[in-house]
């Protein structure tokens, strides 16, 4: 039996602007994972336990709509192998449509598990290409940051179409990730920014440029262990995203709640409009901030150490 997994991710700085060529910073959340187990079966099937469905895979079909089926098809095409008699059972702890990279994580785990069950485990570079293909089919115009941080499972300073840069985090810090409970599709948020951009480039381009320059400052702060500098940068990044109308009222309120409860900084993370927000906390403030967010209606919150 083969098992493989992949982590969730959070974007620390630069979401959306990264689609337009600006840099962004993302880190894996290794405690929250999608796992795929491979057992023998008759034909190729994917059992998505969380989604309550079993999917027979026809890799010869011209159009493969389902993201998991498409992942399997691309793996087999890459390895030049026919569909095997295997059942791939997916179990994911990562909530969907909440900015945590669930789609890229399940595709990565599936491609890893299938290729290693076939005796030809794919390297990260090939995996990244496959998962990016799947992301493109399902998310419109993704920058590639989600698949990259998830496949390599390391902090990244990411610029579209540039070689991958590992980011060195000089001093670990803790984030709370809090779920607004409102799911929001990244594809829709990215499409809306595109419309805004096309309609009013003069307004949106300076916001994207300002986000890019802030991400460079954040990189220096992270590399120098200057945690105190991160909070104001998170707030500034959030304000820019708000200006690009990416913030639901719920998300904005949660950021305010976290700050009042003692967070050093907070912002939306990922596509926005709902999903998760992140807050930078210290050992002294973490419980206070968590409680305040839950009292304010966050449906779920967890801590992650970034290192």
Q: Does 156 bind ligand MEV (CB under 6 A)?
A: no
Minimal distance in Å, beta carbon 139 to ligand MEV?
A: 6
Give the nearer residue to ligand MEV in terms of CB position, either 115 or 143: 143
d(CA 195, CA 263): 34
Distance CA 86, CA 89 (A): 10
The two beta strands, 156-158 and 173-179, are: unpaired
**To which H or E segment does residue 144 belong?**
none
Spot the catalytic one: 66, 85, 123, 146: 146
Of residues 219-278, which lie at the interface with ligand MEV (CB under 6 A)? 270-271
146 part of the active site: yes
Find the shortest distance in angstroms from Cβ 189 to ligand MEV: 6
Q: Residue 144's closest CA among 190, 78, 177?
A: 190
Shortest distance, position 17 Cβ to ligand MEV, whole Å: 8
- How far apart are the C-alpha atoms of 169 and 225, rounded to whole Å? 7
**Residue 145 found at the interface with ligand MEV (CB under 6 A):** yes
In terms of Cα–Cα distance, which of 270, 260, 246, 250 is closest to 292?
260
Site for ligand MEV, residues 166 to 205, rule: CB under 6 A: 186, 190
Structure tokens at 74: 């691309």
The pair of structure tokens assigned to 225 is 């262990």
Q: Tell me how far, at minimum, the Cβ of 245 lies from ligand MEV, in Å.
A: 14
- The footprint of ligand MEV on this chain (CB under 6 A) covers a number of residues equal to 14
Measure the CA angle with vertex 51, ends 45 and 54; round to 5°: 20
Residues 98-127 that bind ligand MEV (CB under 6 A): 99
Establish if 212 lies at the interface with ligand MEV (CB under 6 A): no
Which residues does the annotation mark as catalytic? 146
Which residues contact ligand MEV by CB under 6 A? 11, 15-16, 18-19, 99, 142-143, 145-146, 186, 190, 270-271
């Amino acid at each position: 039996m083969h098992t493989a997994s992949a982590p969730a991710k959070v974007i620390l700085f630069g979401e959306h602007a990264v689609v337009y060529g600006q840099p962004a910073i993302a880190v894996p959340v290794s405690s929250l994972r999608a796992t795929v187990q491979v057992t023998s079966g008759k034909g190729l099937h994917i059992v998505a336990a969380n989604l309550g469905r079993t999917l027979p895979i026809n890799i010869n079909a011209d159009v493969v709509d389902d993201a998991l089926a498409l992942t399997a098809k691309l793996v087999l095409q890459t390895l030049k192998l026919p569909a095997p008699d295997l059942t791939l059972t997916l179990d994911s702890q990562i909530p969907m449509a909440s900015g945590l990279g669930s789609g890229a994580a399940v595709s990565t785990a599936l491609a890893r598990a299938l290729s290693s069950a076939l005796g030809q485990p794919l390297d990260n570079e090939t995996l990244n290409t496959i998962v990016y293909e799947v992301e493109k089919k399902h998310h419109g115009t993704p920058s590639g940051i989600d698949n990259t941080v998830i496949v390599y499972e390391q902090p990244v300073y990411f610029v579209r179409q540039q070689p991958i840069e590992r980011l060195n985090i000089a001093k670990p810090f803790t984030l709370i990730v809090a779920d607004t409970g409102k799911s929001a599709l990244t594809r829709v948020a990215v499409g809306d920014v595109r419309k805004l951009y096309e309609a009013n480039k003069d307004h949106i381009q300076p916001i994207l440029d300002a986000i890019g320059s802030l991400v460079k400052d954040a990189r220096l702060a992270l590399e120098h262990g200057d945690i105190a500098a991160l909070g104001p940068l998170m707030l500034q990044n959030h304000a820019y995203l708000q200006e690009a109308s990416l913030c639901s009222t719920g998300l904005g309120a949660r950021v305010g709640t976290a700050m009042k409860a003692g967070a050093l900084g907070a912002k939306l993370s990922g596509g926005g409009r709902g999903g998760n927000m992140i807050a930078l906390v210290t050992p002294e403030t973490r419980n206070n901030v968590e409680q305040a967010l839950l009292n304010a209606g966050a449906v779920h919150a967890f801590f992650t150490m970034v290192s």
